[in-house]
Chains A and B, each alone.
Chain A
Amino acid sequence: DAGVIQSPRHEVTEMGQEVTLRCKPISGHDYLFWYRQTMMRGLELLIYFNNNVPIDDSGMPEDRFSAKMPNASFSTLKIQPSEPRDSAVYFCASSLKEQGIFGTNVLTFGAGSRLTVL
Chain B
Amino acid sequence: DQQVKQNSPSLSVQEGRISILNCDYTNSMFDYFLWYKKYPAEGPTFLISISSIKDKNEDGRFTVFLNKSAKHLSLHIVPSQPGDSAVYFCAASDGWDDMRFGAGTRLTVKP
Interface residues of B in 11-39 (CB under 8 A from A): 32, 34, 36
Among B36, B99, B104, the residue within 8 A (CB) of A105 is B99
Contact A41 B2 (CB under 8 A): yes
Chain B residue contacts of A107, Cβ below 8 A: 44, 46, 99
Residue-wise interface mask of B (43-64) relative to A, using a CB-CB cutoff of 8 A (1 in contact, 0 not): 1111001010000000000000
- Within the complex, the shortest CB–CB distance from B6 to chain A, in Å, comes to 7
- Within the complex, the shortest CB–CB distance from B49 to chain A, in Å, comes to 4
How many contacting A-B pairs (Cβ < 8 A)? 67
- Within the complex, the shortest CB–CB distance from A105 to chain B, in Å, comes to 5
Contact A112 B43 (CB under 8 A): yes
Distance, CA A31 to CA B49, complexed state (A)? 19
Q: Identify whether the interface residues of A are mostly helix, strand, loop, or mixed.
A: strand
- Asked whether A105 and B32 contact (CB < 8 A) given A42-B101, A50-B97, the answer is yes
Does A12 touch B at the CB level, under 8 Å? no
Contact A41 B103 (CB under 8 A): yes
- Within the complex, the shortest CB–CB distance from B1 to chain A, in Å, comes to 11
Does A97 touch B at the CB level, under 8 Å? yes
Nearest A residue to B48 via CB reads: A104
Among A4, A33, A41, A42, the residue within 8 A (CB) of B99 is A33
- Within the complex, the shortest CB–CB distance from A34 to chain B, in Å, comes to 12
Contact A4 B89 (CB under 8 A): no
Distance, CA A21 to CA B68, complexed state (A)? 38
Chain B residue contacts of A118, Cβ below 8 A: none
